[in-house]
């Protein structure tokens, strides 16, 4: 059974204080690892897909990396608008997504 | 990426009743999925909605409780039947295979269901 574990559960940052979120996973036949952002009361918003170890992707202050066992989401110089829950999910060959519990990030001005 | 809408956005229902949630996409997509997000928790896949055939349900979810239809490539419905307070959740549809790429899932805004 696919397993996805995210840490920490919650992260409180000062504006400008960079940090990283962790997503460790076990899956049979990884097709892709996905990062989403979810704001309260809304559906998840797609951020990145990573397919192979060593791959990196960036979008504004966010950078996602992938190894064979885990992925990191780095937030550089965060702003209050980066406050959200960040979800990690793995996709196996049947295209279904298995989600982690998420990391709730709060950025204080 | 595809634009996805869900109706209703929220509802409050009485125990024992049923609610049908609609998911509409602005373009044809290959796959559609239904997820549940219970309060304070992450997303759990309920089923894959198959066009023109019966949905494929995940362990712990059954057709009698969550009947699903998908009459075409842009529309699907999920019914939550004989509801109990434990069914209070956010229900989300997602789509894959639209203009944004072959394997990325995009999510609708969700339907917040409260069962009294």
Per-residue pLDDT tens over the stretch B65-98: 999 999 999 999 999 999 999 999 999 999 997 6
Could you tell me the strand order of the sheet in which A70-75 lies? A3-7, A19-26, A70-75, A62-66, A56-59
Judge: B109–A43 Cβ closer than 8 Å, yes or no.
yes
Say whether pLDDT at A7 is over 60: yes
Say whether pLDDT at B99 is over 80: no
Judge: B42–A96 Cβ closer than 8 Å, yes or no.
no
Average pLDDT of B2-20? Answer: 97
Say how far residue A70 (Cα) sits from the centre of its chain. Answer: 10
Is the distance from CB of A80 to CB of A15 less than 8 angstroms? yes
What pLDDT score does B15 carry? 98
Distance from the B17 Cα atom to the nearest Cα atom in chain A, whole angstroms: 24
Buried b (16+ CB within 10 A) or exposed e, A1-39: ebebebeeeebebeeeeebebebbbebeebbbbbbbbbe
Residues ≥6 apart with Cβ < 8 Å to A11: A19, A21, A103, A104, A105, A106
Closest residue to B31, CB basis, from A44, A95, A99: A95
């Amino acid at each position: 059974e696919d397993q996805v574990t995210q840490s920490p559960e919650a992260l409180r940052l000062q504006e400008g204080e960079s940090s990283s979120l962790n997503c460790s996973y076990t899956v049979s036949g990884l097709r892709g690892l996905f990062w989403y952002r979810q704001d309260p009361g809304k559906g998840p918003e797609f951020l990145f897909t990573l397919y192979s170890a060593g791959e990196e992707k960036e979008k504004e202050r966010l950078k996602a990396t992938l190894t064979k066992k885990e992925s990191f989401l780095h937030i550089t110089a965060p702003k209050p608008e980066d406050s959200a829950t960040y979800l990690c999910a793995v996709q196996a060959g049947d295209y279904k997504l298995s989600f982690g519990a998420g990391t709730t990030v709060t950025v204080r001005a | 990426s595809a634009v996805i809408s869900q109706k209703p956005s929220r509802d409050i229902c009485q125990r024992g009743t049923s609610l049908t949630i609609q998911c509409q996409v602005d373009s044809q997509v290959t796959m559609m999925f239904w997820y549940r997000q219970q309060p304070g928790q992450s997303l759990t896949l309920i089923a894959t909605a198959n066009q023109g055939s019966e949905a494929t349900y995940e362990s712990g979810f059954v057709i009698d409780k969550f009947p699903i239809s998908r009459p075409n490539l842009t529309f699907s419905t999920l019914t939550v039947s004989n509801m109990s307070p434990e069914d209070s959740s956010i229900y989300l549809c997602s789509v894959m295979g639209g203009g944004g790429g072959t394997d990325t899932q995009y999510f609708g805004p969700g339907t917040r269901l409260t069962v009294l």
